[in-house]
Amino acid sequence: MANKYLYRLLVLIVFLAGITWQAKAQAVQTIPEFPNGDQEITIIFDVRQAKDGRAAGLLGKTDDVYLWSGAGVVGNTNPFQYQPAGQTNFNQPFNPGKMTSLGNDRWQIKLTPRTYFGVPEGQTIDKLGLLLKNGSGTAQTEDFIIQIYDGSLQVALREPEQKNFFVEANSTIPVRAVISTKANVTVKLDNTVVYSASNTEEVQTSINAGNQQGVLRTVTIEAKLGEETATESFTFRVKPQPVVAALPAGIQDGVNYIDATSAVLVLYAPFKNFVYAIGEFNDWESSPEYLMKRTPDGNRYWIELNNLPAGEEVAYQYLVDGTLAVADPYTEKILDPAMDEYIPASTYPNLKAYPEGAQGIVSILQTNQPGYTWKVTDFERPDPENLVIYELHVRDFIEARNYKVLADTLTYLKRLGVNAIELMPVMEFSGNDSWGYNPIFFFAPDKAYGTKNDLKAFIDKAHEMGIAVILDIVLNQADYEYPYVKMYWDGNQPAANSPFFNQRATHPFSVFFDFNHESEATKALVERVNRHWIEEYNIDGYRFDLSKGFTQKNTGENVGAWSAYDASRVAIWKRIYDEIRSYDESAYVILEHFADNQEEKELADYGMLFWGNHSHDYRNMAKGVLANPQGISYKNRSWDNPYLIGYMESHDEERLLYDVLTNGNSNGNYNTRTLSTALDRAKLAAAFFLPIPGPKMIWQFGELGYEVPINENGRTGRKPIRWEYQQQADRQKLYQVYAELIKLKLTEPAFATDDFELQLNGHVKRISLFHEDMRVYIIGNFDVKVQPINANFPIAGVWYDYFTGRENTITDPGQPMELQPGEFHIYTTKKLETPQTGLVPWQGLVLSAEEELAERGVTVYPNPMQEATMLQLEGDYRGPVEVQLVDMTGRNLQQVRFLKHQHSHQEQLRLQRIPNGIYYMQVEQGGKKSVHRLLKLNN
């Protein structure tokens, strides 16, 4: 799941000024009441008054509460512009900000702003941005903005708590304000004085709202002291009654473009009383002519906008019930005042400036948008059972972090041989720096990675190279900035009447706000989202995050109960699958489910694919620890379809190579914690992963042995990008081994067979693939010591060692052989093109019994070897003979070639420079090979 806190470092102004004032009045106070940036102030928080649900984790604490804060200056809207030295990691305690408990969930800190925040002299501090959090950053309040004053005469409004609001007709509005020093005060309603007082520091009165619906009225509090004047004001309107009118035919939620200058906006907003369209077309004012019509059922509000500038971007929002301005939930582009300034022009050229007068995230409409012309319109998706998926995160895959450069890396992935890319979520998420599992706008690609047409061009180029693009999609939850979270909010959780969300998640592992997938509103939203990315972006399918969470069966924190068979969840997923199939017959539907096998089998038989997490077993195997990943076989789960996408690594799992280098076993001189050996162990793991029939997934840079731990810079934090790995010979060999295994998987029918056997228990593991085209036998030693075994070939005959190209005639399938630690072989009954030499550090030696060697007329003596050792050959063969001496790792130490002219031939071998140890001598004559094990002692 994504880290929802990373973007807090750059958060700007709380969304509505009214919310800021309300929060300040209730949750934060300062002493003095009009603080100055150069004097010590006391800041007191009452956590009980915080509105953010995450603040619940701070209640009842007596320690471990910290201030996370910043200071802003005149001329800059960012209240976190200056931050105290060392305040860099939200997920760790910040000791200078440690709060003092006052009891009853009240906390205090004293500081001098200019000193604490390091604001240079000459800069005038006019605001502080504040929140409270625990040390680990797992609990926090919302952001608060407090004003800093310059010592002049000031008026501060205390009541009403909002500065722009709607009221009922003829209601009474309390007015209370404080003055920085005694002064003469008047209160005006529009231009009429309704209250006055002399020589006072406080105003307390009330006014009648009247009954003029929708008319903006202004209340001004003015203080005078000599020649000095200070004012404060607020505005209000009497709540309007919308016109009731049905939606025009063919109009749906969101923006509906009518022509070059017209569009109809529709907002689904049941239980709301009125909605205004506000934006650049009306200076963000809730003017009467932009009051939206309400449909007869009361569920939707709509308005037709005319005289729009043709082809130009226009920013807009919906002002709901006069209290909350939100962007369009269906928008395809947003502007974010907190984040957009940090997006480089190289990633998003000519990004529209944030509009003056707006507050918070705004949506964008644009008539006559420039389209994208697809180059590839006939892409044929790989069969699901043959998928080799490469999961990648744009942020951590390329330094540029954008689709343009990502498209340039496709040649790297093409050479590797993968036929699908799975992009971690790219829908608009909170902030610019995230894994993406904190979505806030489901129809808009996040601008942090580039434009929508850049994304389309990337997909187009991938298709051109024969690579499908799968989108990791998050429809189990949404973050707070999602409009439908904010529109139906009850203090610290979604409201009971939310059409979309459960008040509390029905299951464990929910991080944000949990969708109710049995509600009609959520069903309609999910259908729209799924259709949008397939039809608009030519996405080839989805990996649905936390699909097991699509349930209304409340299991609390009981993971076992949550994972049990759930008929209602099965029905939900069949409905979603059928909807996708109604407009795309072959799109991939991949679930991150991890539920009861009965449930997964039923859905797999229905056509869905599933993530299969075998990271723990493969990491243990690579470390030399006994493990058995039998579950990576769909047959071992009794599935009818090979729709289990097995993986050794994913974004959620520890890196295999890091685990081996940190925790791997050793024996004598063989140590898996050395880099070269660890990389060979990664080859071994891959050889028992990719060839298993069924789709597979690789997590980015696994093919190069990425060794940075998952928790570096925080679990979801940025990771170093190590393209320099390509220049390292040992890592390039691992890449080539991956490429060769993928090539076998995708080009040789035997690797897609449904007739196979896995023997994955014990340290020596075997895979047998049976197909009419050829048979495949894979054997490998996951132990850290030599394993003398019986080969147990499936049949006798000629077998070819794939990585060496050597031919081996097997007369006894069970003949003895020795496997060095980490050694593996892929044998085939059909001669295949041999990969480049040296990818594996051993030769393809099958050890024959001593008697068989004698029968072949090969004798080596003495044994143990001496400085001069004799090779005796007997037999009718005449012609060239090649002799190779290799060590236990397969390294070639000596090679001798000579001609055999007669029945009996002796050849003296000079071995004086060979150190003590065990060696293998391979003799090849007339295309036939034999191997003899030799011992060297007393060097």
Six token digits for residue 195: 């209250």
User: Which pLDDT belongs to residue 932?
Assistant: 77
**Residue 36 DSSP one-character state:** B
Among 286, 293, 279, residue whose Cα is nearest residue 248? 293
Among 127, 179, 121, 178, residue whose Cα is nearest residue 152? 179
pTM (two decimals)? 0.80
User: Which pLDDT belongs to residue 844?
Assistant: 60
Least confident interval from 6-20, 380-394, 529-543, 902-916 = 6-20
- Mean per-residue pLDDT, 832-853: 70
**Residue 239 DSSP one-character state:** P
Block residue for tokens 């009850």: 490
First to last CA, the chain: 60
Domains and CATH numbers, the chain: 28-147 (2.60.40), 155-238 (2.60.40.10), 257-367 (2.60.40.10), 388-607 (3.20.20.80), 611-828 (2.60.40.1180), 858-936 (2.60.40.1930)
Residues 6 or more apart in contact with residue 491 via CB below 8 angstroms: 51, 53
Six token digits for residue 366: 């644009």
Q: How far is CA 739 from CA 155, 417, 479, 744, in A?
A: 71, 6, 39, 9
Residues 6 or more apart in contact with residue 399 via CB below 8 angstroms: 405, 721
Least confident interval from 111-115, 571-575, 715-719, 917-921 = 917-921
Distance between CA atoms of residues 468 and 590, nearest Å: 14
Block residue for tokens 């996040």: 446
CA angle 119, 120, 122 (to 5 degrees): 120
Q: How many residues does the chain have?
A: 939
Distance between CA atoms of residues 274 and 294, nearest Å: 8
The SS3 assignment for 152 reads coil
Six token digits for residue 610: 């599933």
Distance between CA atoms of residues 491 and 477, nearest Å: 18
Comparing 918 with 462, which gets the higher pLDDT? 462
Residues 6 or more apart in contact with residue 356 via CB below 8 angstroms: none
User: Which pLDDT belongs to residue 674?
Assistant: 97
Decide if pLDDT at 12 tops 50.
Answer: no
Distance between CA atoms of residues 653 and 328, nearest Å: 36
Decide if pLDDT at 840 tops 70.
Answer: yes
Structure confidence at residue 206 as a pLDDT band (50, 70, 90): very high
Residues 6 or more apart in contact with residue 732 via CB below 8 angstroms: 704, 726
Six token digits for residue 790: 């019986």
User: Which pLDDT belongs to residue 295?
Assistant: 98
Contact by Cβ (8 Å): 194, 209: no
CA angle 267, 273, 274 (to 5 degrees): 55
Among 548, 650, 542, residue whose Cα is nearest residue 597? 548
Contact by Cβ (8 Å): 546, 576: no
Alpha helices in 266-381 (DSSP H): none
Q: How far is CA 138 from CA 4, 101, 486, in A?
A: 9, 19, 21
Least confident interval from 171-180, 300-309, 641-650, 922-931 = 922-931
Contact by Cβ (8 Å): 856, 930: yes
User: Which pLDDT belongs to residue 938?
Assistant: 61
Distance between CA atoms of residues 495 and 796, nearest Å: 70
Distance between CA atoms of residues 189 and 828, nearest Å: 91
Distance between CA atoms of residues 158 and 202, nearest Å: 10
**Residue 786 DSSP one-character state:** -
Burial of 59 by CB count in 10 Å (0-12 exposed, 13-18 middle, 19+ buried)?
Answer: exposed
Residues 6 or more apart in contact with residue 69 via CB below 8 angstroms: 80, 83, 84, 87, 97, 117, 128, 129, 130, 131
- Mean per-residue pLDDT, 532-541: 98
DSSP letters, 506-575, are SSTT--SEEB-TTSHHHHHHHHHHHHHHHHHH---EEEETTGGG---S--TT-HHHHHS--HHHHHHHHH
Among 925, 931, 934, residue whose Cα is nearest residue 810? 931
Considering just the CA atoms, what is the radius of gyration of the chain in Å? 35
Comparing 917 with 611, which gets the higher pLDDT? 611
Q: Give the chain's mean pLDDT.
A: 92
Helix (H) / strand (E) containing 580: helix 567-583
Backbone dihedral region of 259: left (phi > 0), alpha (psi from -120 to 50 degrees) or beta?
beta
Sign of CA dihedral 735, 739, 745, 749: negative
Alpha helices in 607-699 (DSSP H): 615-623, 656-663, 675-687
Distance between CA atoms of residues 345 and 350, nearest Å: 7
Distance between CA atoms of residues 835 and 732, nearest Å: 14
Q: Is the peptide bond before 32 cis (omega within 30 degrees of 0)?
A: yes
Query: Torsions phi, psi of 344, nearest 5?
Result: -70, 150
- Mean per-residue pLDDT, 809-822: 89
**Residue 754 DSSP one-character state:** S
- Mean per-residue pLDDT, 539-558: 95
Q: How many CB atoms lie within 10 A of CB 45?
A: 26
Residues 6 or more apart in contact with residue 717 via CB below 8 angstroms: 3, 6
User: Which pLDDT belongs to residue 851?
Assistant: 39
Q: How many CB atoms lie within 10 A of CB 467?
A: 23
Structure confidence at residue 745 as a pLDDT band (50, 70, 90): very high
User: Which pLDDT belongs to residue 3?
Assistant: 35
pLDDT digits (tens, 9 = 90+) for 765-787: 999 999 999 999 999 999 999 99
Distance between CA atoms of residues 673 and 658, nearest Å: 9
Decide if pLDDT at 500 tops 90.
Answer: yes
C-alpha dihedral (714, 716, 717, 721), degrees to nearest 10: 120
Comparing 107 with 16, which gets the higher pLDDT? 107
Distance between CA atoms of residues 513 and 505, nearest Å: 7
The rounded percent of the chain whose pLDDT value lies above 70 is: 95
Distance between CA atoms of residues 915 and 918, nearest Å: 9
pLDDT digits (tens, 9 = 90+) for 413-450: 999 999 999 999 999 999 999 999 999 999 999 999 99
Sign of CA dihedral 346, 352, 357, 359: negative
Distance between CA atoms of residues 383 and 391, nearest Å: 18
Q: How many CB atoms lie within 10 A of CB 911?
A: 19
Q: How many CB atoms lie within 10 A of CB 377?
A: 9
User: Which pLDDT belongs to residue 890?
Assistant: 63
Q: How far is CA 744 from CA 34, 258, 579, 741, 824, in A?
A: 74, 53, 35, 5, 16
Helix (H) / strand (E) containing 485: helix 483-486
User: Which pLDDT belongs to residue 935?
Assistant: 78
**Residue 865 DSSP one-character state:** B
**Residue 430 DSSP one-character state:** S
Residues 6 or more apart in contact with residue 317 via CB below 8 angstroms: 277, 278, 279, 284, 325, 326, 327, 328, 358, 360, 362, 363
The rounded percent of the chain whose pLDDT value lies above 90 is: 83
Residues 6 or more apart in contact with residue 412 via CB below 8 angstroms: none
Contact by Cβ (8 Å): 137, 5: yes
pLDDT digits (tens, 9 = 90+) for 907-934: 988 877 788 777 878 888 887 777 777 7
Decide if pLDDT at 13 tops 70.
Answer: no
pLDDT digits (tens, 9 = 90+) for 381-396: 999 999 999 999 999 9
